[in-house]
């Protein structure tokens, strides 16, 4: 094992857009819902992207369903969402 050395691969950091929300397993759902409705209603974004990986995908689905069909945003019941690359959801205005 002396002949081998670990080489660190440089990570490419992708910038986070203003309308991106990255969902983690540790964050609280109500905080994500509040932030998403703030982006849609107050900041005027026509679309937001909810991104997650692994176990956080279940939480992301719940958040999207609550935003679309819950009491959190009655104005946005018409919005449609779709899955992109199986890691996130994007909410679009109609």
Let me know if residue 86 belongs to a domain.
yes
Token code pair at residue 63: 């958040």
Let me know if residue 41 belongs to a domain.
yes
> 12-46, pLDDT tens digit by residue?
877 888 989 999 999 999 999 999 888 888 888 88
Residue among 89, 91, 92 nearest 23 (CA): 89
Domain that holds residue 39: 20-92
Let me know if residue 34 belongs to a domain.
yes
The CATH number linked to 28 is 3.30.110.20
The residue that leads in pLDDT, 75 or 90, is 90
pLDDT of residue 31: 94
pLDDT of residue 3: 87
Comparing 8-12, 69-73, 75-79, which segment has the lowest mean pLDDT? 75-79
- 57 Cβ neighbours under 8 A, 6+ residues apart: 86, 87
pLDDT of residue 1: 65
Let me know if residue 39 belongs to a domain.
yes
Taken in order 10, 16, 22, 26, the sign of the CA dihedral is positive
Number of structural domains in the chain? 1
Q: Are 87 and 57 in contact (CB under 8 A)?
A: yes
Helix axes 56-69, 29-41, angle to 10 degrees: 50
Let me know if residue 53 belongs to a domain.
yes
Let me know if residue 5 belongs to a domain.
no
Let me know if residue 62 belongs to a domain.
yes
């Amino acid at each position: 094992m002396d002949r081998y050395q670990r080489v660190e691969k440089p990570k490419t950091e992708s910038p986070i857009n203003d309308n991106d929300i990255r969902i983690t397993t540790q964050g609280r759902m109500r905080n994500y819902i509040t932030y998403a409705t703030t982006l849609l209603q107050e900041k005027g974004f026509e679309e937001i992207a909810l991104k997650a990986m692994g176990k956080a995908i279940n939480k992301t689905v719940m958040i999207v369903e609550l935003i679309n069909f819950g009491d959190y945003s009655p104005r946005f019941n018409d919005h449609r969402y779709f899955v992109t690359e199986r890691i996130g959801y994007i909410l679009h205005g109609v």
